[in-house]
Amino acid sequence: MDAAKNKYSIIVPTYNERLNIALIVYLIFKHLRDVDFEIIVVDDGSPDGTQEIVKQLQKLYGEDRILLRPRAKKLGLGTAYIHGLKYASGNFVVIMDADLSHHPKYFPSFIKKQLETGASIVTGTRYVTGGGVHGWNLMRKLTSRGANVLAQTLLWPGVSDLTGSFRLYKKSVLEDVISSCVSKGYVFQMEMIVRASRKGYHIEEVPITFVDRVFGSSKLGGSEIVEYLKGLIYLMITT
């Protein structure tokens, strides 16, 4: 594939990310200087004025580089990707979080990995050397590690970081996989990568660092654990 002809559509779902969206856009432009890309912001009717900020960014960077495709209200991550995909003109799609836990500086390594290997999906992993997490206490690390070992034992997923949502997909592959996924939240991310793995798509991993600035305000309680276990069982039975 001719590298010069590749275009990357970056879908960023937002909800109340007035400040972060501006920072992310700046960082994306900083780290992707010689790459053809567009940013598709799917905002779910944020009450904090996120869309106004995006419009200011459009004036600064161009409406052809930043697409604002909002929705009326909070409708969930999976549908946000599907919505964004409708407007994506690239042959590759990147999905990432808007809260700066995912840093755009890793884009070049995602792109490089894909060009080197021809992979259909490149997924960021926090759990290998070169990657890492900051902002988690021991308990959080323990639950993360325990959840991961359980998922590896039960699902044989083929990737080291199942719940990660920093990924590069070939557009056709994303369209194929997303159409068969029905879960919500982080189980959705797991379902995407497991289904892709089952369908035999070539998946590669690159190490990424994850700075959790919101942990502490969101506790990992009993109900999250139950949801996770239900998600694992669902994936065991349906994939």
User: Of residues 2, 129, 218, 222, which one binds another protein by CB under 8 A?
Assistant: 129
Buried b (16+ CB within 10 A) or exposed e, 62-86: eeebbbbebeeeebebbbbbbbbbe
Question: Which residues have a Cβ under 8 Å from the Cβ of 98 and sit 6 or more positions away?
Answer: 12, 13, 14, 15, 17, 20, 21, 24
Nearer to another protein, 74 or 134 (CB): 134
Please tell me what DSSP assigns to residue 5: G
Question: How much of the chain is helix, strand and coil, in % rounded to 5?
Answer: 45, 20, 35
Contact between 225 and another protein per CB under 8 A: no
Mapped onto helix, strand or coil, the DSSP state of residue 150 is helix
Binding residue count for another protein, defined by CB under 8 A: 48
The answer to the question of residue 150 lying near another protein (CB under 8 A) is yes
Residue 118: CB atoms within 10 A of its CB come to 10
Indicate which single residue of 19, 182, 214, 229 sits in contact with another protein (rule: CB under 8 A).
19
- Output the smallest distance, CB 125 to another protein, in A: 10
Q: Shortest distance, CB of residue 233 to another protein, whole angstroms?
A: 8
| SS3 (DSSP) at 92 | strand
Any contact of residue 153 with another protein (CB under 8 A)? yes
- In 3D space, the residue among 37, 30, 16, 188 whose CA is nearest the CA of residue 106 turns out to be 30
Q: CB of 143: closest distance to another protein in angstroms?
A: 10
Question: Binding of another protein at residue 239 (CB under 8 A)?
Answer: yes
Both tokens of 55, joined, read: 């419009």
Instruction: Pick between residue 4 and residue 237 the one whose CB is nearest to another protein.
Output: 237
Nearer to another protein, 56 or 117 (CB): 56
State the minimum distance, in angstroms, from the CB of residue 53 to another protein: 6
| Residues in contact with another protein by the rule CB under 8 A | 16-20, 22-23, 26-27, 48, 52-53, 56-57, 59-60, 100, 103, 126-135, 138, 141-142, 145-146, 148-150, 153-156, 198, 209, 211, 235-239
